[in-house]
Amino acid sequence: MILQALHGYYQRLLERGEPGLSPFGYSPEKISYAILLAPDGRLVDVSSIRDHSGKKPVPRLLNVPQPEKRTVGIKPNFLWDKTSYVLGVSATSKRADKEHEAFKALHLQILAGTDDPALKALLAFLSIWNPERFKAPPFNEEMRDANLVFRLDGEAMYLHERPAAQLARARLLAGAGNEGSATGECLVTGEHLPLARLHPPIKGVNGAQSSGASIVSFNLESFGSYGKSQGENAPISEQAAFAYTTVLNHLLRRGEHNRQRIQVGDATVVFWAEAADADEAATAESLLGDMLNAPPDDSQEAGRVREALEKASKGRPLRDIDPKLHDETRMYVLGLAPNASRISIRFWQTGTLGDLAQRLAQHEADMRIEPVPWKTAPAARRLVLATVPNREGAMPKMDDAFNNLAGELMRAILSGGLYPQSLLANTLMRIRSDGNLSGMRAALCKGILARQRRLGINTNDEEVPVSLDKQSLNPAYRLGRLFAVLENVQRSALGNQVNATIRDRYYGAASATPASVFPMLLRNTQNHLGKLRKDKVGWAVTLERDIREIVEGLGERFPRSLRIEDQGRFAIGYYHQSQARFNKGDDANDSTPETDVADQGALA
Amino acid sequence: MAFGIKLYVWGDRACFTRPEMKVERVSYDVITPSAARGILDAIHWKPAIRWHVNRIHVLKPIRFESIRRNEVGGKLSAASVAKAMSAGSTAGLPNYVDEDRQQRAATILRDVAYVIEAHFELTAKAGPDDSVGKHLDIFNRRARKGQCFQMPCLGVREFPGHFKLLEEGEALPSSHGSLKGSRDLGWMLHDIDFEYGATPRFFRATMNDGVIDVPAWSSEEVKA
């Protein structure tokens, strides 16, 4: 279905005349110079067609006949190539003479008997060209190994754009098709056509080879079946193979104007809409893009995302935001990840815009925790960042994320299914080893538990509270709260200059094996309270009352150990209680909101 | 079809690999007819009969998950085995797994359940002792007891498939609500034509309220 959908998208874009999308047999390549020819084959000039608007001139992308897949063999391209092939001069290639011979031979063969004056001029040029001439102007050293195209002097069209050239190109393709490739039933279109043996490379997936990688490839012998080789294993027509790779390369292109591509962990995500016209598609795509990767600030986009999620969660149509948004617009989301010169599909989700918005709203609701640690919905990218080590003084790095986690998390968000099993364990492990319980991490714990409950798993547990719930009798939650209060007592008694607080030292043990830690912590707290009573009696009484109130709700004895889900609740309780003291206002005058807030700032 | 059977199959994981993404495996959304035939073959098969899958009922929502596994990149060539046999020595023959690792990703199905409706026909290899009734009885008896020649699997060997015979007249387990409506599943592998150079044959699969009608092997809709 993935290839079919991409093929369909290609057809729509082609009909719509999308700029930068090549028709069958052509591909956009970086071209630097055009050689101007006189009708008799004399060289008139060499003009630079690079883009000079920036600091450095950069090659322009031109739609030229698709390049050959080159590895070690000498394979000239049709009507364009680098200087070693076109002119026989190169700074790097040691066999430029052979390459030029091949270029010449190919064109003499294909263009023999042509009537087109421009193509005739090229033939004449090739027969009289001598690489020695490269040393004199109009050539210069900068041109070595750049890509060249041809143009007949006085005409606007490049040689490869001329109808006669396209005809010759079609003949060339048909000839190549007859030689080796078999025909068969195309898996994408269902028609009987010549099959692609090798598929064009896909460029732009982060972490994959820069020369491109393949979704459909059989690069080792154990990948084939039934004695079939290469493309015969997966019968896809030349034309369909071209279509899906071209449109995928188009979606994956880098640049700030491409809003259809985002990076989540190691997965490169592209998405597109199937809408009546280009405007509607673009609006839908930009909304989905913002929802998947919400800007963490108060910008206009962030506001739009908030509004869209609110509408979706209330079941209101998105049209209220923008008349160009339709709930029924079909959306496709594809997550790709590199793997050894191949590209694997991390996830693939289709659905209507309304459905996806609703699922994203559901995700936001599941993750919601108070006080809210973010300004806009928790995008997958930021959630993934919360699961990587937070080293002191360094920004969390996306590279540290577990490979599969990002993809699985995205799948869960887009499909409305369970969050990945490993996410809770991984988050708790990170909290313990970093000692940093940020709002984002608490929200992750809460979201995982809330979604499990909503989907009918672990229903015997009580609901996961969004904000501080003093009535909750869940022992893990209460212990989390108790731990936060004990930390607060220590902080109030000893100030903020403690080298290692009880959180730094005991958080892990307290959340996993409460019975072994809490009695000792409670004993020490009496010392802290004793000190506090001398300075601030009222505050000491308040804290003591808090402790009593929490302990009263606990059972006879502390649990020996907590299950992983309960450790999640512990984290939520801790977050709620420790944040609550900031909200009390006057009561909290002794404890300044310092480190915690700074930590969240880095993550939220 | 008086001699049709219904088999309920289920499992925790399944991978019905798409041919175009069989290196970094991606599963079809549902079981393919050839995988369903494989399950039936595992319970009872003889050269005298040939199974035909008529209909597939999808019972559980379609859910995906991705995993990575270590596999090998090469395979032993038949020629080098033949050489080793004639030379009477295995020198140079072994393939060391740890020197030929390939990590491959797979996007697989989670928690699947299907009902396979199928029948079989006698082939040219059927002798005078073979009759439809005899083979049907053998199949039913074996399936009822849970007997099989090898553990049936859901697409790949690592994912075993459990099965239970649905008796005639027994009600079908109900499909999950999310499967309501019509869904185009694209071109799907029907089976491999082993008599003509192992040619794959495809059909356009559509699912209506969780039910996929599989066209007959010889029908127009199945293309090679």
Domain ranges of chain B: 5-68+106-223, 70-102
* DSSP β-ladder status, B101-122 and B25-26: parallel
- State the pLDDT confidence band at B213, using cuts at 50, 70 and 90: very high
Residue A6 has pLDDT above 70, yes or no: yes
pTM here is: 0.80
Tell me the residues of A at the B interface, defined by beta carbons under 8 Å apart: 1-4, 184-185, 187-188, 190, 192, 215-223, 225-228, 233-236, 337, 339-340, 342-348, 403-404, 407-408, 411, 415, 417
**In this predicted model, what pLDDT tens digit does every residue of B200-212 receive, in sequence order?**
889 999 999 999 9
Work out the minimum CA distance from B105 to partner chain A, whole angstroms: 6
Tell me the residues of B at the A interface, defined by beta carbons under 8 Å apart: 18-24, 26, 29, 63-68, 71-75, 102-105, 107, 185-187, 192, 198-202, 204, 223-224
What is the distance between the alpha carbons of residues A19 and A47, in angstroms, rounded to a whole number? Answer: 24
Residues in CB range of A151: below 8 A, 6 or more apart? A34, A35, A36, A37, A157, A158, A159
Answer yes or no: do B72 and A235 touch at CB < 8 A. no
Which two three-digit tokens encode residue A561? 């150990």
- Domain positions in chain A: 32-176, 472-585
Query: The dihedral of CA A582, A587, A592, A596: what is its sign?
Result: negative
Sort A72 into a burial class: Cβ within 10 Å, 0-12 / 13-18 / 19+.
exposed
Nearest to A351 by CA among A410, A415, A420, A267: A415
Are residues A266 and A354 in contact, defined by beta-carbon separation less than 8 angstroms?
no
Q: How many helices (H) and strands (E) does chain B have?
A: 3, 9
Residue A197 has pLDDT above 90, yes or no: no
Q: What is the mean pLDDT of residues A550-575?
A: 88
What is the distance between the alpha carbons of residues A386 and A49, in angstroms, rounded to a whole number? Answer: 47
Residue B75 has pLDDT above 90, yes or no: no
Answer yes or no: do B23 and A219 touch at CB < 8 A. yes
What is the distance between the alpha carbons of residues A526 and A532, in angstroms, rounded to a whole number? Answer: 10
Answer yes or no: do B26 and A348 touch at CB < 8 A. yes
Work out the minimum CA distance from B144 to partner chain A, whole angstroms: 32
What is the distance between the alpha carbons of residues A462 and A445, in angstroms, rounded to a whole number? Answer: 15
Lowest model confidence (mean pLDDT) among A101-105, A399-403, A517-521, B136-140: A399-403
Work out the minimum CA distance from A286 to partner chain B, whole angstroms: 26
Considering only CB atoms, A226 lies closest to which of B103, B186, B198, namely: B198
Which two three-digit tokens encode residue A351? 């659905």
ipTM, interface predicted TM-score of the complex: 0.89
Give the residue from chain A lying closest to B17, CA to CA. Answer: A234
Check residue A181 and give its pLDDT: 62
Lowest model confidence (mean pLDDT) among A290-304, A347-361, A504-518: A290-304
Are residues A123 and A111 in contact, defined by beta-carbon separation less than 8 angstroms?
yes
Give the residue from chain A lying closest to B201, CA to CA. Answer: A185
Check residue A555 and give its pLDDT: 79
Are residues A337 and A406 in contact, defined by beta-carbon separation less than 8 angstroms?
no
Q: Which residues of B112-121 are buried (b: 16+ CB within 10 A; e: fewer)?
A: bbbbbbbbbe
Lowest model confidence (mean pLDDT) among A104-108, A334-338, A528-532: A104-108
Give the residue from chain A lying closest to B185, CA to CA. Answer: A1
Tell me whether the omega of the peptide bond preceding residue A593 falls within 30 degrees of 0, making it cis. Answer: no
Pick from A187, A202, A359 the residue to mutate for testing the B interface (most B CBs within 10 Å): A187
Contacts of range A556-559, beta carbons closer than 8 Å, 24 or more positions apart: A557/A515, A558/A479, A558/A514, A558/A515, A558/A518, A558/A519, A559/A475, A559/A476, A559/A479, A559/A514, A559/A515
> For B5-68+106-223, which CATH class?
alpha beta
Work out the minimum CA distance from B145 to partner chain A, whole angstroms: 33
Phi, psi dihedrals of residue B220, rounded to the nearest 5°: -60, -35
Work out the minimum CA distance from A222 to partner chain B, whole angstroms: 5
Answer yes or no: do B21 and A216 touch at CB < 8 A. yes
For A137, other C-beta atoms within 10 Å of its C-beta total: 7
Which two three-digit tokens encode residue A210? 């820069």
Contact list in A for residue B74 (CB cut-off 8 A) is: 220-222
Which two three-digit tokens encode residue A105? 């031979």
Q: How many helices (H) and strands (E) does chain A have?
A: 19, 12
More confident residue, B36 or A321: B36
Rounded mean pLDDT of chain B?
Answer: 90
Considering only CB atoms, A3 lies closest to which of B20, B64, B75, namely: B20
Contact list in B for residue A216 (CB cut-off 8 A) is: 20-21, 23
Which two three-digit tokens encode residue A382? 């930021």
* DSSP β-ladder status, B25-26 and B182-193: unpaired
Pick from A274, A345, A403 the residue to mutate for testing the B interface (most B CBs within 10 Å): A345
Which two three-digit tokens encode residue B97? 């797994």
